[in-house]
Structure 1
């Protein structure tokens, strides 16, 4: 019996192998037939008969991207009629990046893609890559192969590689799609993806091929700078370094790191990205080399300077970090407006620590109550609250409000600031102050004082969402107060809906409703939908990473309220990556993971 079973098994395996070989041969035959048909149709584009030319053109349009590569080559055909018609067809096919049967999310992202400039196309590529579970992979591969810009073709490939598959099944799916879409592609970016898959299967066997491709791209950058960029070369070299690390060939990494630094062109965003990556792997010698090579750029660019401050702190050199920060502070002199704008940019770069440094400088410049001073105090108070430094947050606003009461000039300045920013009135400032002081009382264990201050906060501003949420959390045994809070929430939600009607493309009020419901009570399913809309709108608008991280934080809280802890963790992990400077996101992520772990243990 065992022998017959063994023979049957071997026979079945042989049948499968034969079927696979036959399928591959049939696929190759089909490909050859298609290529032959395309070549024949292209020749017919130059036929003397109009009807023949027209029929060939329509059939090539139906073939679409299957005919694309041959049509691109035909643009250089010696027959001017063929070259002209091939050029027209290439442009026509490129305008049809999606089909009616493609998913709605894909069609929305790639809508009018061909009419966009290169700067507008890159965010679309990132949107495709950000779709969960490689949902945008097929269309990213299409861009790798057919995007007219070689730089964007390469950016699409990098976007694919930057998103790591969750498990081996996801890797298998990614490999299948890449092979299906790019098996006949000859562009450099397609070669990268082939090498990337091989390097995943066998890093030791694939690293040399990857090194060759990285070197080739560095040469392209030197000889044809419009076909590449320092960021692209740096991304390839970075993957080379990471693979060498995994292979424990660290003796080879120093030379590659030096190449990364030497190929940099000195633009701010690229240098910031490089320094952050070098800090993550503690490559201090390479950080020093960057600072030395681009010293002149650092001295006039505060973002670069503060990025270097963060690197020095990570290195353990607080003294050098402080000295560097002092030089960064001097770049914008006494211009409060420029320091505030810099603080905003620092926040989007995940450098909230140094944004607070700039905000304290704005407050120090005075005068108390000016629009700049008021803005800086409110913003810095928010930062302190995130760091659980609520007494400092409350004191910042209390100092301003005390000055309003004692100095008519300060009151006048605050009123002037209120005219510029209607949401920043005295009542709002008092409400925020009392909320922060209530948060401090809660951490001190003084629940009676917390309740008193939260009641005060809502008396001064019934739309203070954070105060509503905090009071909701501590009034479970007070149905009368809960009913009052429900009225405040309903009024606020109605206001948000009116703002959505007025401007449906602003993600703010979708997010506000979702945040309130997720942290109190209401229709959680609708909250998830509204929150997802806010995220989609922010992605489409190309909002900053920190802004998107905050919106994803809300979506994660919605999933948590629904009891979908896996989705909450997954979403919050992305939020933490996008907004690494916000401690509240990290605290929530720890809480979500704890609930997910408990849920998984209970299932076992």
Structure 2
């Protein structure tokens, strides 16, 4: 055969070819569309029209030769030719379809799935799977391009990781890369996964925005996604089309014909996936190697249910969400880890009714696994049944003891050590979920047992009390460790930490908590003594909260002088740390180095910003530092908490309240953050009241 060649336009980077000609025609369209979305906000909207115009121009050369229907008929004829008895006609059809490229993708996909001629279906499937597309655009950010450059050569697991990383990045170029992958990824499950990651990332972004900003962002995203999807009718595209239709009609989704129509559409889509996930085992049993694919199908279907449950709860209400996702319980199975995931999701999605239903279906697992028991207790709390909640919590705690008792048949095991670890593990999980009375109960049960992790348990429990404002309890909890540290170490010298404890940190924190407890009782000399002793302990990272507490002693001498000396020393130390971290980041030459240097700089900026803002000194510098930390680590709740404090110190009360609420949405059970929000809201209310004539 004669080797064909053709020239490539230069405006967009086109797919590179190893075995096959370029997939050109449709990629022109996608490149033109997605080029409009590589910077945030305004560019998404302003360049959408430009992108469409570019797409029109790129299609203009062929539009005069054949209409869309003629093009589709030509592609259909070529697909039929793939089954021709003549080898040369089959080869010509294959080459021509490769030349047409992504414009033939939809019809090839349909042929691969539905064509009655097995030879045609196999050839179509081969053409789809052998596509070698450059998924990134010249206008994409460096990070997105690096993620996508090796996508075609990556293993299945690595491709899944790329989807996750794009979702976590959530920049406009990353989101539209996910949209391209949802449309053109040859693997059907991975196409669905890309769509899910895209919907999850967008819904998470929108949830953090105020209503006016949310509407504006939705409008921009709808146009970009719709243009990128084009006329695709594959399953992932149908999900995304339903999603953007919801975005366009968000004000009409609570009740009425629009809501009913959209809910029926989601029900149809999810029912189709449910049937696929539940009927596939029979087919899989007849085809070797398909059982893993079936497991992945179930996993993707459950992900769809869970995202949809949260989405519908937020936009349509709890009752429609419950009705739609209840059937997903059939897919969970009796594996304890799968049940833990399902129960945790149901609670987070504010659909606690599902947990007792799971418990009734899998009673033995909920009886034997403590964390499942605590999830059941938490669900009863959300449902307002405190009696059943406490009963379930007691049973869960007892299940820990039963688990350890079952190990008695094994030799060479320290059962008390195991039991302490189990209580400790569940205490931390309960604290993270805001179930503080039960968390304290498990901490105390763990502390009552002899174990190698007892020092760690004490340190965690002390911090737990400090977060709750119980400073005297925090100090008393750490007292045994502080006394031991004083006996083991020489004053002023770092004390060696081991695997389970850090004596120096225990001593410093004991004095810190003791100082706060003395402040609570207005015992200023005692508070000053403890706080200064905390700063004198060597071998620990500087703690700005100690200096902040020294300022609270007031302007009387010698307290003010103590504060000034401590503040100047610590702020100077932090400024050096920030400069060193900035230098380290600027010298980072590869992704791994940047991944290590960025978080370190963010942490140093945050610590200094917290010190300056709480002391209300150099508040403009504090604000700049805090914004820098969030530039490096976006949406980190602790850093948002600091930014809110910086706004407050700078007199920007509305921004302080808004930012603090965002931090709490990301970390809803952080008690110190909630306390700070109350402080900001009270100040804003007072300011508003005083402004009223």
Please confirm whether the aligned pair reaches a TM-score higher than 0.5, indicating the same fold. Answer: yes
Matches of 1:364 and 1:280 in 2, distance apart?
Answer: 32
**Is 2:340–2:372's contact at 8 Å kept on the other side of the alignment?**
yes
Deviation of 1:144 after TM superposition, in Å, equals 2.3
User: Which of the residues 441, 449, 455 maps onto 2:532?
Assistant: 455
> Secondary structure, in 3 states, of the residue corresponding to 2:448?
helix
State the partner residue of 2:615: none
**Is 1:276–1:311's contact at 8 Å kept on the other side of the alignment?**
no
Report matched runs for 1:470-485 at 5 Å.
Answer: 470-472=549-551, 478=560, 481-485=563-567
User: Which of the residues 498, 506, 513 maps onto 1:420?
Assistant: 498
Deviation of 1:190 after TM superposition, in Å, equals 1.9
Deviation of 1:440 after TM superposition, in Å, equals 2.4
State the partner residue of 1:578: 666
State the partner residue of 2:461: 380
State the partner residue of 1:6: none
> Secondary structure, in 3 states, of the residue corresponding to 2:358?
helix
State the TM-score, normalizing by the size of structure 2. 0.65
State the partner residue of 1:465: 544
Deviation of 1:437 after TM superposition, in Å, equals 1.9
- Which 5+ residue runs of structure 2 have no aligned equivalent? 1-48, 250-257, 281-293, 405-414, 586-592, 613-617
**Is 1:391–1:440's contact at 8 Å kept on the other side of the alignment?**
yes
**Is 2:515–2:527's contact at 8 Å kept on the other side of the alignment?**
yes
| 1:104–1:284 distance in 2 versus 1, CA, 3 Å | closer
| 1:131–1:582 distance in 2 versus 1, CA, 3 Å | same
Deviation of 1:535 after TM superposition, in Å, equals 1.9
State the partner residue of 1:206: 262
**In the alignment, does 2:217 pair up with 1:140?**
no
**In the alignment, does 2:521 pair up with 1:444?**
yes
State the partner residue of 2:26: none
State the TM-score, normalizing by the size of structure 1. 0.73
State the partner residue of 1:191: 238
**Is 1:126–1:159's contact at 8 Å kept on the other side of the alignment?**
no
User: Which of the residues 156, 178, 181 maps onto 2:225?
Assistant: 178
Matches of 1:119 and 1:559 in 2, distance apart?
Answer: 43
**Is 1:231–1:270's contact at 8 Å kept on the other side of the alignment?**
no
User: Which of the residues 584, 595, 600 maps onto 1:505?
Assistant: 595
Matches of 1:126 and 1:281 in 2, distance apart?
Answer: 21
Deviation of 1:485 after TM superposition, in Å, equals 2.2
Report matched runs for 1:94-493 at 5 Å.
Answer: 96-104=134-142, 106-107=144-145, 110=148, 112-113=150-151, 125=163, 128-129=166-167, 136-147=174-185, 148=187, 149-160=190-201, 162-163=203-204, 164=206, 166=211, 167-199=214-246, 201=249, 202-224=258-280, 225=294, 226-229=296-299, 230-235=301-306, 238=309, 242=313, 246=317, 250=319, 256=324, 258-267=326-335, 271-272=339-340, 274-276=342-344, 278-279=346-347, 285-314=353-382, 315-317=385-387, 318-330=389-401, 331=403, 334=416, 335=418, 336-337=420-421, 339-341=423-425, 343=427, 354-366=438-450, 370=452, 372-402=453-483, 418-421=496-499, 424-425=502-503, 427-461=504-538, 463-472=542-551, 478=560, 481-492=563-574
Pick the structure with more helix per residue. 1
**In the alignment, does 2:613 pair up with 1:532?**
no
**Is 1:387–1:583's contact at 8 Å kept on the other side of the alignment?**
yes
Deviation of 1:185 after TM superposition, in Å, equals 1.8
Matches of 1:326 and 1:257 in 2, distance apart?
Answer: 30
Q: What are the Cα deviations for residues 501-523 of structure 1, in whole angstroms up to 9, with x where unaligned? A: 49753465334312322122364
| 1:260–1:566 distance in 2 versus 1, CA, 3 Å | farther
Matches of 1:385 and 1:357 in 2, distance apart?
Answer: 16
Matches of 1:120 and 1:144 in 2, distance apart?
Answer: 16
Number of aligned residue pairs: give it.
Answer: 553
| 1:125–1:434 distance in 2 versus 1, CA, 3 Å | same
Deviation of 1:364 after TM superposition, in Å, equals 1.2
| 1:526–1:286 distance in 2 versus 1, CA, 3 Å | closer
Matches of 2:631 and 2:573 in 1, distance apart?
Answer: 21
Deviation of 1:459 after TM superposition, in Å, equals 2.0
Deviation of 1:393 after TM superposition, in Å, equals 0.6
| 1:570–1:55 distance in 2 versus 1, CA, 3 Å | farther
Matches of 1:486 and 1:33 in 2, distance apart?
Answer: 75
Matches of 1:158 and 1:270 in 2, distance apart?
Answer: 23
Deviation of 1:556 after TM superposition, in Å, equals 4.8
> Secondary structure, in 3 states, of the residue corresponding to 1:365?
coil
Matches of 1:113 and 1:352 in 2, distance apart?
Answer: 45
**Is 1:146–1:153's contact at 8 Å kept on the other side of the alignment?**
no
| 1:457–1:116 distance in 2 versus 1, CA, 3 Å | farther
Matches of 1:85 and 1:205 in 2, distance apart?
Answer: 38
Aligned-residue CA RMSD in angstroms?
A: 5.0
> Secondary structure, in 3 states, of the residue corresponding to 1:420?
coil
Q: What are the Cα deviations for residues 116-136 of structure 1, in whole angstroms up to 9, with x where unaligned? A: 666665665455455678664
Matches of 1:570 and 1:68 in 2, distance apart?
Answer: 46
> Secondary structure, in 3 states, of the residue corresponding to 1:505?
helix
Deviation of 1:382 after TM superposition, in Å, equals 0.9
| 1:82–1:196 distance in 2 versus 1, CA, 3 Å | closer
| 1:593–1:455 distance in 2 versus 1, CA, 3 Å | same
> Secondary structure, in 3 states, of the residue corresponding to 2:386?
coil
State the partner residue of 1:518: 609
Deviation of 1:244 after TM superposition, in Å, equals 9.5
Q: What are the Cα deviations for residues 51-85 of structure 1, in whole angstroms up to 9, with x where unaligned? A: x999979966xx7x656546656879958998698
| 1:590–1:127 distance in 2 versus 1, CA, 3 Å | farther
**Is 2:571–2:611's contact at 8 Å kept on the other side of the alignment?**
no
Q: What are the Cα deviations for residues 277-309 of structure 1, in whole angstroms up to 9, with x where unaligned? A: 655787665432111212233344333232223
**Is 2:577–2:604's contact at 8 Å kept on the other side of the alignment?**
no
**Is 2:181–2:191's contact at 8 Å kept on the other side of the alignment?**
no
Deviation of 1:213 after TM superposition, in Å, equals 1.4
Matches of 2:670 and 2:637 in 1, distance apart?
Answer: 9
**Is 2:423–2:443's contact at 8 Å kept on the other side of the alignment?**
yes
Deviation of 1:384 after TM superposition, in Å, equals 0.9
Deviation of 1:458 after TM superposition, in Å, equals 1.0
